[in-house]
Amino acid sequence: MREFYTITELTREFGVSTRTLRFYEDEGLISPVRRGRTRLFRPGDRHLIKQIMRGKRLGFSIAEIREIVQMYKEPPGEAGQMRAIVDRVEEKRAELRQKRKDIEETLAELDQVEENCLNRLAELRVAS
Amino acid sequence: MREFYTITELTREFGVSTRTLRFYEDEGLISPVRRGRTRLFRPGDRHLIKQIMRGKRLGFSIAEIREIVQMYKEPPGEAGQMRAIVDRVEEKRAELRQKRKDIEETLAELDQVEENCLNRLAELRVAS
DNA sequence: AAAAATTCTTACGTAAAAGTCAATTGCGCG
DNA sequence: CGCGCAATTGACTTTTACGTAAGAATTTTT
């Protein structure tokens, strides 16, 4: 595993622009180290970007993604804070389960669409 | 089942504004009938709105949602068009499966977070 | 019938998430 | 050393998905 990645390496890997990665840094989602002014991305930053992209595909806003990745990062603290995190984890899980349900329903309806099309195609073949 | 719904009935049901439903009409997602200038929403329109909300929760853009609901609406046409629809259905399904995978992965990581928290809480109880 | 509520159209405003452009700055190398 | 390429910051622009406000028409309630 490599120690550092340049910004353009990661833009290519994830199909985003440099502007986007700098924007995520401004937004506090990633914190690459610097050599002079140049950003150096470590494997941990790369993994964070992977998580950000997942969040984006699921339609989470930057603010929501920040909430999620902060839960991953949160250092072990005192009991009250631990319980607060457990609660927030459960909230996010509920959201994700809703999304999964939405996906199942949409897939089912698309199955319907496809079946209708295939039936129609079969009819056309008989008619000709 | 009722024949018509007013716009505010549906805004309440779906938790959106009248502006939003009118916007969706402008965007060609729904086409309520009119009595004079007033919109009357039929059960079919209501179901469409349900599908739109699902698409929104999944992070699809209006343009993508339009593509999806147009597949539902497309009237049986000729063979070439049927096959084109089948292809587009398969594309959307691939997208949805990706999203589902993203959800599973995020859920797994949240499980990790929770487990860490619970372990930490157990430790705190022992230490005290 | 008058008042109140709902709906309509039109138009301008805005927040989020980048895109685009300009003007540097630093690095490897022939 | 000078060239070119990659990286940086900063500012302005764009797109999407509505919000908001104004003013007129219609419908409903009292």
A22-48 pLDDT per residue, tens:
999 999 999 999 999 999 999 999 999
Check if A114 contacts B (Cβ < 8 Å): yes
- Mean pLDDT (chain A) is 96
Residue A96 to residue B103, Cβ atoms within 8 A:
yes
Structure confidence at residue B74 (pLDDT): 82
Split at pLDDT 50, 70, 90, the class of A3 is very high
Structure confidence at residue B126 (pLDDT): 94
Q: Are A71 and B110 in contact (CB under 8 A)?
A: yes
- Residue B40, pLDDT > 90, answer yes
Judging contacts by C-beta atoms under 8 Å, the chain B residues touching residue A76 are 116, 120
pTM of the model: 0.94
Of A99, A102, A121, the CB nearest to B82: A121
Which residues lie closer than 8 Å to B73 by C-beta, 6 or more apart?
none
**Which 3-state string (H, E, C) describes chain B?**
CCCCECHHHHHHHHCCCHHHHHHHHHCCCCCCEEECCEEEECHHHHHHHHHHHHHHHCCCCHHHHHHHHHHHHCCCCCHHHHHHHHHHHHHHHHHHHHHHHHHHHHHHHHHHHHHHHHHHHHHHHHHC
Question: For residues A23 and A56, what is the distance between their CA atoms, to the nearest angstrom?
Answer: 14
Split at pLDDT 50, 70, 90, the class of B92 is very high
Residue-wise pLDDT tens digits, B101-126 = 999 999 999 999 999 999 999 999 99
Judging contacts by C-beta atoms under 8 Å, the chain B residues touching residue A120 are 76, 82
Residue-wise pLDDT tens digits, A74-104 = 888 899 999 999 999 999 999 999 999 999 9
Structure confidence at residue A87 (pLDDT): 97
Instruction: Calculate mean pLDDT across residues B95-104.
Output: 98
Structure confidence at residue B89 (pLDDT): 97
**Residue in chain A lying closest to B70 (CA):** A113
Nucleotide with smallest C1' distance to residue A20 CA? C18
Residue ranges of A 86-105 with Cβ closer than 8 A to chain B: 86, 89-90, 92-93, 96, 98-100, 102-103, 105
Structure confidence at residue A26 (pLDDT): 98
Q: Are B57 and B81 in contact (CB under 8 A)?
A: no
Among A118, A99, A86, CA closest to B113: A86
Which residues lie closer than 8 Å to A5 by C-beta, 6 or more apart?
A40, A41, A42, A45, A46
Structure confidence at residue B77 (pLDDT): 85
Question: For residues B10 and A39, what is the distance between their CA atoms, to the nearest angstrom?
Answer: 50
Split at pLDDT 50, 70, 90, the class of B46 is very high
CA distance B36 to chain A (A): 34
- Residue B79, pLDDT > 90, answer yes
Residue A92 to residue B71, Cβ atoms within 8 A:
no
Instruction: Calculate mean pLDDT across residues B50-59.
Output: 98
- Residue A10, pLDDT > 90, answer yes
Check if A38 contacts B (Cβ < 8 Å): no
Look up tokens 């009250």; give the residue.
A80
